[in-house]
Amino acid sequence: MKALEGVRILDFTHVQSGPTCTQLLAYLGADVIKVERPGVGDITRGQLRDVPNVDSLYFTMLNGNKRSITIDSKHPKGKEILDRLIKHCDVLVENFAPGALDRMGLTWDHIHSLNPRMIVASVKGFGPGPYEDCKVYENVAQCAGGSASTTGFRDGPPLVTGAQIGDSGTGLHLALGIVAALYQRNRTGRGQQVLAAMQDGVLNLCRVKLRDQQRLKHGPLTEYSQHGQGIPFGEAVPRAGNDSGGGQPGWILKCKGWESDPDSYIYFITQAPVWEPICDVIGEPGWKTHPDYATPKARLPRLAQIFARIEEWTMSKTKFEVMNLCNAVDIPVGPILSMKEIAEDESLRRTGTIVEVDHPMRGKYLTVGNPIKLSDSPAEVTRAPLLGEHTEEILRNVLSYGDEEIAVIEASGAIGETRPKRRIEPADSAIRAAATKKFNGRTR
Ligand code: COA
């Protein structure tokens, strides 16, 4: 049995933030029915395509373990099907632009009158306030949530992060809200609305920077290297490069091979309890007792010099050698792993964090499995659905429509005409090969 077995999700999500949420719920065992516009589907199916006419990795890596049904939500017959789906589902998840769900006629009152137990969960860019009507993408949220102003180097522009904290981060927040609402519903019998605003989600992940903003009133942020460089602080938390903010100063240092390998670096943390082993490892045993280096307070204004010395040592070793030597004496360090190294990492595959799945049109691809491991609810990762692949199956088996009713629905145009009449199995390698050949021919 899976943790969320028996929970059925009406998944009205698209792009990244919503789909990450529902994919996680699917990994946890929920039956996720993704509703897509006939003939079009989630816009990401066609975005950043690497193989022509094949659902993109953008889509397939965010929509595993789901079923796809195509319904025109503005068509009268489509509305009828949706009403029936609402009665058969536990949670509706959406991340449309503000007001779009209401414009479809799916207001909270309407949904709640059909199914008082329904939980309606939404991602929006902003919570109630001056920006509540704005459309928002990842980097807008990173900027509005305090991440960009605190990321980068002090003398450079604000930076966005590689981690999708606005989209995937908010999806994760929403998933937690949904699970909590399901738990509450067990006791009250009532559904409720759950909102995760992207600005709020990013700010939640940046809470240490709001901490530092308040600390600024009481003096300089001594663990920021600009303090040691004698550069005064302004009114707002500055960008701190790679300084770590937890009172355990750390920096990114070059390792052997950095001249040609852009990822030949290591994050090195001068954790106070292991200062003595650090001095031994880098060949500065005198620093253990020297008044300029022996205490964390004495070291703070000298971080640049200390890290320059440590870097002399790390540059004589590969990042993995540094990792092994330091971990042997409990010094916390982290090699900068490239995406190539991560994709090839056997241990991540063994734990199911990276999973290879097979897709009838694109062949094998890697995806990120469930990063949350439950001992009694193993996640089995399956491929993303083709557009409308499960339309008939859902109409028949979930909504109990009979042959005649399905014929009427098909004739109405509410579910479109493009859904596959049959599942395309891996045996259809000819389709895949032709697509790949065409693509290779184009790019050469
Ligand atoms: N049948 C018929 N119409 C459908 C449909 C279906 N199955 N599914 C979607 N639509 C319609 C919607 O009703 C809407 O129409 P309307 O504007 O006439 O009411 C339309 O498709 C487009 O929806 P919208 O959400 O406005 O898409 P967009 O591409 O213009 O905007 C975002 C994309 C992401 C900017 C916007 O959805 C948004 O701000 N979402 C909230 C924040 C968010 O999640 N951002 C992160 C994205 S990763």
> Each residue of 16-32: pLDDT tens digit?
999 999 999 999 999 99
* Cα 113 to averaged position of ligand 1 atoms, centre (Å): 24
Task: Provide the pLDDT for residue 301.
Answer: 86
Best residue for ligand 1 mutational test, from 68, 80, 135, 137 (most atoms within 8 Å of Cβ): 135
pLDDT tens sequence across 284-335: 999 999 999 999 999 988 988 999 999 999 999 999 999 999 999 999 999 9
136 is in an annotated binding site: yes
246 among the known binding-site residues? yes
The pLDDT-based confidence of 13 (bands split at 50, 70, 90) is very high
Which residue's C-alpha comes closest to atom 7 of ligand 1?
37
Of ligand 1's atoms, which has the minimum distance to the CA of residue 125?
42
H helix or E strand, kind and range, residue 142: helix 138-144
- CA–centroid distance, residue 135 to ligand 1 (Å): 9
Query: Please, which residues have CB within 8 angstroms of residue 265's CB and are 6 or more apart in sequence?
Result: 252, 253, 254, 255, 258, 319, 335, 336
| CA atoms of 142 and 161, how far apart (whole Å) | 8
Q: How many CA atoms lie within 13 A of 311 on its CB side?
A: 16
At residue 245 the predicted structure's pLDDT band, cuts being 50, 70 and 90, is: low
69 in Cβ contact with 34 (< 8 Å):
yes
Give residues with Cβ within 8 angstroms of 227, minimum separation 6: 220, 221, 233, 300, 301
Does the pLDDT value for residue 436 go beyond 50? Answer: no
31 annotated active-site: no
Residue 202: which residues within 8 A CB-CB, separation 6 or more?
141, 142, 144, 145, 146, 147, 165, 166, 169, 170
Residue 15 Cα: closest atom of ligand 1? 48
Element (H, E) at 32: strand 31-36
Where do the H-state alpha helices sit in 147-242?
Answer: 168-188, 198-205, 207-215, 225-228
- Residue 427's pLDDT band (cuts 50, 70, 90): very low
Check residue 300 and give its pLDDT: 87
- pLDDT, the chain, mean: 93
Q: Which residue's CA is the closest to the ligand 1 atom numbered 16?
A: 100
User: What is the residue type of 303?
Assistant: L
Residue nearest to atom 28 of ligand 1 (CA): 97
Minimum-distance ligand 1 atom for the alpha carbon of 103: 19
35: exposed, middle or buried (Cβ count in 10 Å: 0-12, 13-18, 19+): buried
Element (DSSP H or E) covering residue 113: helix 108-114
Distance CA 216, CA 234 (A): 9
**Structural domains of the chain, ranges and CATH numbers in brackets:** 8-204+345-443 (3.40.50.10540), 241-331 (3.30.1540.10)
For ligand 1, atom 26, which residue shows the shortest CA distance?
Answer: 97
Dmax over Cα atoms in the chain, in whole Å? Answer: 88
For residue 54, is pLDDT > 60?
Answer: yes
Atom of ligand 1 nearest to the CA of 37: 7
Place of tokens 């609305």: 193
Alpha carbons 225 and 231: distance in angstroms, whole number: 9
Ligand 1 atom having least distance to the Cα of 18: 44
* CB-CB neighbours of 145 under 10 Å: 25
User: Binding site annotation covers 45?
Assistant: no
> For residue 33, how far is its CA from the centre of ligand 1 (angstroms)?
18
| 257 has a pLDDT exceeding 80 | yes
Query: Tokens 């009158």 belong to which residue?
Result: 113
Specify burial of residue 167 (Cβ count, 10 A radius: 0-12, 13-18, 19+).
Answer: buried
Two structure tokens written together for 307? 């890290």
Q: What angle do CA 325, 331, 334 make, to 5 degrees?
A: 80
Please tell me whether 248 is known to bind a ligand. Answer: yes
262: CA distance to ligand 1 center in Å? Answer: 38
Which of 34, 92, 96, 102 to mutate for ligand 1's pocket (most ligand atoms within 8 Å of CB)? Answer: 96
For residue 12, give the ligand 1 atom closest to its CA: 8
Instruction: Output the CA 125–ligand 1 centroid distance in Å.
Output: 12
Q: Which residues pair with 12 in a beta bridge?
A: 94
- Is 97 annotated to bind ligand? yes
Residue ranges lining ligand 1, Cβ < 6 Å: 15-18, 35-37, 71-74, 95-97, 100, 103-104, 123-125, 135-137, 167
Ligand 1 centroid from CA 130, angstroms? 20
Nearest-CA residue for atom 6 of ligand 1: 37
Question: What does the pLDDT look like over 147-197, one tens digit per residue?
Answer: 999 999 999 999 999 999 999 999 999 999 999 999 999 999 999 999 999
What 8-state DSSP symbol labels residue 149? Answer: G
Q: Beta strand pairing status for 193-197 and 119-124?
A: parallel
Mean per-residue pLDDT, 57-80: 98
Q: Tell me if 439 is assigned to a ligand binding site.
A: no
The mean per-residue pLDDT over the stretch 123-129 comes to 98
Please give the pLDDT value at position 229: 87
User: Between the CA atoms of 8, 12, 15 and 16, what dihedral angle is there, to the nearest 10 degrees?
Assistant: -40
In Å, what is the CA distance from 426 to each residue of 50, 95, 334, 367?
Answer: 19, 32, 40, 18
Q: Kindly give the distance from the C-alpha atom of residue 212 to the centroid of ligand 1, in angstroms, as a whole number.
A: 37
Sequence-distant (≥ 6) Cβ neighbours of residue 209 within 8 angstroms: 146, 150, 237, 245
The pLDDT assigned to 421 comes to 44
Distance (Å) from CA 41 to ligand 1 centroid: 11
Catalytic entry in 90, 167, 200, 212: 167
Instruction: Give dist(CA 5, CA 379) in Å, integer.
Output: 12
The answer on pLDDT for 423 being more than 70 is no
Is 194 annotated in a binding site? The answer is no
Is 96 marked as binding a ligand?
Answer: yes
Q: What is the CB neighbour count within 10 angstroms for residue 253?
A: 23
